[in-house]
Structure 1
Amino acid sequence: MRAFFSLSIVSVITLGSLLTAVFPNFRFLAEPIPHSVASAPAKKRVVFIAGSCSHGAGEHEHKAGCLLLAKRLNETMPALEADVFTEGWPAHPKAFDNAAAVVIYGDGGEGHLINQHLEAVQALMKKGVGLACIHYAVEVPKGTAGTYFLNWIGGYFETFWSVNPVWTAEYKTLPAHPITRGVKPFTINDEWYYHMRFRPQMDGVTPLLTAIPPASTLDRKDGPHENNAAVRNEAGKPQHTSWCRERPDGGRGFGITGGHYHRVWADDNFRKLVLNAIVWIAKVDVPANGVPSATPSKEEMGLNQCPH
C-alpha cells in the first residue's frame, strides 16, 4: 500500500533533517527514477533507448517502436520489466541500475547515441549486460566503436563495405535457436542492410535471418551506404540481416538490420523474432513458442509516432 503526501519545500527540508538524524543512511533523490530501479530488483530490467525523429512519417519511428515492444514484454513476460528512455541517452545516473539488457533503436553512424558513451557501455558489457541494436543503430563508425560492436554483438554496418537498399527479403528457413522459437518463415519489404562487417570467420556469431538480395539492390552508384566493389563481388550470394552473439564472458548481443518502416512491427514473425532476442540477451528463458505478442491494431500502430 502506497501513501502520497503533498509537502512544502520547508516541510521537505524539515522532514529530511529529522529522518537524517534518526536514520543516518536516509537521503532524498533529486529527480524521479524508473519505478523498477526504485524497488527491489525482483525482475530483470530491459532498458530501451529510443532515438529522436529524423525521417518521414512511418520511418524511423524509434519512440513508437520501443514503446510497443516494451508494452508487449511487460504484458507477457513476468520475469522482465521494460523501461523506455526517449530523446537521447539517459541522463539519470541510475538509468542502467539492475539492467539485464539494453536495446538501442535510433539513428547511427557518426550521430549514433552510443558514440559518446562507449566506455560506459563497455563497463555494462563486462557485467554481462546484453545489447540489442535495431536498424540504423547497427551502424557505428569504423575504428573504436566498430571494434567494440564486433565484440558486443558480433557485427555492424561499416560504410563503404555494407549497403542499405530497400528490398523484399524472403526468409525461407530459420536456424534452430531460442531467438527463432515460434517464428515461421516470412517475407517482408524493408530497408534491409546487408554485407555487414562480421567477426573474422563469424567467430561466435550465429546468423538468424539470411536471404539472397535481388540484383536490383546493386543498381545504385558507389557510395558510403549505396554500393561498392566488395558487395558487387558477392552478388547473388546469401546475406545475413540478423544475427546474435554469445560472448566468452557470458554476455549476449543481437543485431537486426530491418526496422526502417514502422509497419514492420505489425508483422507477427518480425516482431516475435525481436522480442525473443531481447528476452534471450537478458538471459531469460524464451518460451517454447516464442514471446506471446498480440498483433497491434491500426490504432495502436499509430500511437507515439513523430509529428509530421
Structure 2
Amino acid sequence: MAIAPRSLILALACAGAATFLLMSRSPAEPAKSGSGEKKKIVFVAGRPSHAPGEHEHRAGCMLLADHLNKSGMPVEAVVVDNGWPKDEKIFDGASAVVIYADGGGGHPAMPHLAKLRSMADSGVGISCIHYGVEVPKGDGGKTFLDVIGGYFETDWSVNPHWDGNFKPAKHEIARGISEFKIRDEWYYHMRFRENMEGVTPILSDVPPADTLSRPDGAHSGNPAVRAAVLERKEPQHVMWAFERSGGKSRAFGFTGGHFHKNWKHDDHRGIVLNAIAWIAHVDVPTDGVPSKTPSEEEMAANLDKK
C-alpha cells in the first residue's frame, strides 16, 4: 500500500500499481517552488508495533511527509505503508528513501539488500530511523556500513531510554536547530565504518551511567560499551550523516523516534526534516526546513490501531 499525492497515484494506477490514500484528511498539495523538478522522497513505513504512541511508523512517516510537502521546497514526498513495497516501481525517480520500521531479522530491507545498495550506488539518499538502524550482522551489517555508514549491532550497541542533551554539530543538517534536551530510546555505541570514514556525527552526548544498569545482553550492555561510556566518557553519536566516496550518495541514521509525541518537538522533528532534504540533495534553508509545530489533531492522525 502507498500514500501519495493525486498526480503520483494516477501515474501508478496507469502502471497497474495498487495504491490508495490512508490519510484521515486530504493530503497536502505538492510543494510549490521556483524552477526545477521536485525531488521525490519515498518513506517506507513499517508494520504496526509496540504499544500505542510507540513505533508509530505510519503516522510518523505521514507527518514528516506532510510537512515536507507543505514546506514550499522542491520536494514531493510519498509514503509506502506496511513495509517494503510490493511494487518497487515506487522507487523509480526517487532522490531519497527513508525507512522508519522495526529492524533486526524482520527489517523490511533485509530481503532487498541488493536493491538498497543499487539505489545508493545510483545516488539515491538512504536513511533509517530508530529500530530501522538495526540489522543482523553479516550481509545486513556490511550493507548498512556501505550504504548509511553505521548500524545497531547486537552485542555491541545498546537501546536504553534516557534524556539526551544535544548541541548539534555545525552541518547543513543542523541549520535552524537549537540545543535541545529530549527523552527517547536513544540507541548508542553504534557500529560505524572503520575510522569513521565518510561519517559526520550530528547529535552526540555522553549517556548517564544508569543507561548501563541492565545486565549484559544482546541489546542491553557489553564490556566494550561499558568501557567507552563508564571509563572513557566518550560521547555517543545518536544521529550521523554519511557521504559515500565521491559525494554522489548521501545518507543519515537517527536512533530516536521511539515516542510519536516527540515529533511535536520542533528541534527533534526539524533536524530529521533537514536531514531528509540533505540526503535528497535539496539545499537546506538557513533557518531549516519550514515546519510549523503540529497540532494535537495532526499528532493524533493516522495512528495504528493497536
After TM superposition, give the deviation of residue 145 of structure 1 in Å: 1.2
Instruction: Give the aligned partner of residue 254 of structure 1.
Output: 252
Q: Give yes or no for the alignment of 1:216 onto 2:202.
A: no
Q: Give yes or no for the alignment of 1:165 onto 2:163.
A: no
Structure 1 stretches of 4+ moved >2 Å: 28-36
Q: Residue 78 and residue 257 in structure 1: after superposition, are their counterparts in 2 closer, same or farther (change >3 A)?
A: same
- Equivalents in 2 of 1:117, 1:298: separation in Å? 36
Which range is displaced more, 55-64 or 226-235? 226-235
Q: Give yes or no for the alignment of 1:96 onto 2:91.
A: yes
| Structure 1 spans left out of the alignment, 5+ residues | 3-27
Matching residue's letter, 1:61: E
- Equivalents in 1 of 2:110, 2:18: separation in Å? 26
Larger radius of gyration: 1
- Equivalents in 2 of 1:208, 1:196: separation in Å? 13
For residues 50-76 of structure 1, the C-alpha deviation after alignment (integer angstroms, 9 at most, x for no partner) is 001110010000000000000000001
How large is the RMSD of aligned CA atoms in angstroms?
A: 1.9
Matching residue's letter, 2:107: H
Matching residue's letter, 2:209: A
Structure 2 SS opposite 1:82: strand
Q: Give yes or no for the alignment of 1:64 onto 2:65.
A: no
- Equivalents in 2 of 1:33, 1:79: separation in Å? 23
Structure 1 SS opposite 2:256: coil
- Equivalents in 2 of 1:133, 1:203: separation in Å? 19
Equivalent runs, 1:11-160 vs 2, <5 Å: 29-31=15-17, 42-160=37-155
Instruction: Give the aligned partner of residue 281 of structure 2.
Output: 283
Q: Give yes or no for the alignment of 1:192 onto 2:192.
A: no
Matching residue's letter, 2:38: K
| Structure 2 spans left out of the alignment, 5+ residues | 1-5, 7-13, 21-28, 31-35
1:238 to 213, 230, 235: 235
Q: TM-score, normalised by structure 2?
A: 0.87
Q: Contact 1:33/1:94 (CA < 8 Å) preserved in 2? A: no
Structure 1 SS opposite 2:275: helix
- Equivalents in 1 of 2:85, 2:288: separation in Å? 30
After TM superposition, give the deviation of residue 42 of structure 1 in Å: 2.8
After TM superposition, give the deviation of residue 152 of structure 1 in Å: 1.1
Q: Contact 2:100/2:131 (CA < 8 Å) preserved in 1? A: yes
Q: Contact 2:83/2:101 (CA < 8 Å) preserved in 1? A: no
Q: Contact 1:50/1:106 (CA < 8 Å) preserved in 2? A: yes
Matching residue's letter, 1:162: S
Q: TM-score, normalised by structure 1?
A: 0.87
For residues 34-90 of structure 1, the C-alpha deviation after alignment (integer angstroms, 9 at most, x for no partner) is 999xxxx93110000000111001000000000000000000143110000011211
Q: Contact 2:163/2:183 (CA < 8 Å) preserved in 1? A: yes
Matched residues, number? 278
- Equivalents in 2 of 1:121, 1:176: separation in Å? 29
Instruction: Give the aligned partner of residue 6 of structure 1.
Output: none
Q: Residue 93 and residue 152 in structure 1: after superposition, are their counterparts in 2 closer, same or farther (change >3 A)?
A: closer
